[in-house]
């Protein structure tokens, strides 16, 4: 079932790319496995899905460890997986994010970024960071206002052990393609402005900050086609791969 769903979502991505004149390689698929167990992740892995997103940090860490152990036992390579934190990060959870994830897409405060920078272990590669931008002043209120993203980006590029990769957007759900696309275009415009604004900035690794700024994380099960047509480079799909979520974790 999961393998079939993945196949369908990949086709959707391919078609959306074709329609927008983009290469399908430009858009990465993140499987959002929140609330689903180790078996579901292993099933997706068998269907060649390697990038996963999790919202609830404690739940995620237990899952990451269990998946690693069981994947190796099942002849799959757990080390190849990439895990992204896509839920809110409180100060008391930054250490877990720094130690167990490959990246985080929900940074909207410098204080959290600073903690992650200090806590990222030296034996791991830099933590990949996307700043969350709130383009529609949406319900959750998470994310920075578009007018403040560039300033936050300039601060984050100076933090050791982090690598600023781009922006993430999660607008409130809208029904029609045109409305979905319009709101995703706001995030795309913000992304282009920040990338432009970073030109000439050298990050703490001595690299040009804007060349590393290549990720626009937006689009979920119900609006991924519109997000791709607006310029998304990473869609985050849960329901479309694993089915409807029944539980709401603590
Ligand atoms: C749950 C979640 C998703 C996936 O949503 P679906 O509608 O199930 O595809 C994507 N991004 C974030 C931040 C989420 O919390």
A 10 A CB-CB count for 125 gives: 10
A 10 A CB-CB count for 249 gives: 10
Does the C-beta of 220 come closer than 6 Å to ligand 1? yes
Question: Atom 13 in ligand 1: which residue has the minimum CA distance?
Answer: 86
Does the C-beta of 34 come closer than 6 Å to ligand 1? yes
- How far are the Cα atoms of 80, 81, 207 from residue 145, in angstroms, in the given order? 35, 32, 27
Does the C-beta of 24 come closer than 6 Å to ligand 1? no
Which pLDDT score is estimated for 78?
A: 80
What's the pLDDT tens digit per position in 145-158? 999 999 999 999 99
Q: Dig out the tokens for 180 from the structure.
A: 């979905």
Tokens 């609006």 correspond to 223
Residue 216's DSSP bridge partners are 167
Nearest to 79 by CA among 121, 43, 124: 124
- Determine the Cα–Cα distance for residues 92 and 37; give it in Å rounded to an integer: 24
Closest ligand 1 atom to Cα of 220: 9
- How far are the Cα atoms of 168, 172, 227, 239 from residue 142, in angstroms, in the given order? 11, 11, 19, 22
Does the C-beta of 238 come closer than 6 Å to ligand 1? yes
Which pLDDT score is estimated for 72?
A: 85
How many angstroms from the chain centroid is the CA of residue 161? 18
Does the C-beta of 216 come closer than 6 Å to ligand 1? no
Burial of 107 (0-12, 13-18, 19+ CB in 10 A): buried
Nearest to 154 by CA among 101, 112, 97, 196: 196
Residue to mutate, 28, 86, 138, 247, ligand 1, most ligand atoms under 8 Å from C-beta? 86
Q: Dig out the tokens for 104 from the structure.
A: 């985080």
Question: Atom 11 in ligand 1: which residue has the minimum CA distance?
Answer: 236
Closest ligand 1 atom to Cα of 237: 9
Give phi and psi for 214, each to the nearest 5. Answer: -135, 10
Closest ligand 1 atom to Cα of 106: 13
Which pLDDT score is estimated for 250?
A: 44
Given a cut of 70, the residues of the chain with pLDDT beneath it are 247-250
Closest ligand 1 atom to Cα of 170: 13
Which pLDDT score is estimated for 189?
A: 98
- Determine the Cα–Cα distance for residues 174 and 181; give it in Å rounded to an integer: 10
Does the C-beta of 105 come closer than 6 Å to ligand 1? no
Nearest to 169 by CA among 189, 157, 193, 187: 187
What's the pLDDT tens digit per position in 41-93? 999 999 999 999 999 999 999 999 999 999 888 888 888 899 999 999 999 99
User: How far apart are the CA of 238 and the centre of ligand 1, in A?
Assistant: 6
Question: Atom 6 in ligand 1: which residue has the minimum CA distance?
Answer: 238
Which pLDDT score is estimated for 249?
A: 55
Closest ligand 1 atom to Cα of 221: 9
Does the C-beta of 144 come closer than 6 Å to ligand 1? no
């Amino acid at each position: 079932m999961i393998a079939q769903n993945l196949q369908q979502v990949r086709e959707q991505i391919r078609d959306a790319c074709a329609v927008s004149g983009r290469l399908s390689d430009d858009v990465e698929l993140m499987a959002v496995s929140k609330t689903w167990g180790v078996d579901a992740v292993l099933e997706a892995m068998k269907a060649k899905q390697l990038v996963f997103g999790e919202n609830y940090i404690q739940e995620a860490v237990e899952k990451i460890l269990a998946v690693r152990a069981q994947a190796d036992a099942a002849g799959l390579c757990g080390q190849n997986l990439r895990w992204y934190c896509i839920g809110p990060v409180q100060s008391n959870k930054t250490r877990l994010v720094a130690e167990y994830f490959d990246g985080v897409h929900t940074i909207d405060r410098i204080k959290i970024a600073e903690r992650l920078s200090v806590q990222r272990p030296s034996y791991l590669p830099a933590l990949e960071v996307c700043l969350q931008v709130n383009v529609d002043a949406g319900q959750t209120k998470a994310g920075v206002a578009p007018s403040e993203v560039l300033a936050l980006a300039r601060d984050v590029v100076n933090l050791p052990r982090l690598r600023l990769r781009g922006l993430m957007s999660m607008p409130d759900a809208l029904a029609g393609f045109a409305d979905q696309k319009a709101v995703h275009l706001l995030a795309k415009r913000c992304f282009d402005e920040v990338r432009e604004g970073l030109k000439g900035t050298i990050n703490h690794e001595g690299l040009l900050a804007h060349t590393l700024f290549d990720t626009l994380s937006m689009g979920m099960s119900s609006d991924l086609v519109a997000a791709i047509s607006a310029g998304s480079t990473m869609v985050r799909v849960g329901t479309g791969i694993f089915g409807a979520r029944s539980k709401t974790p603590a």
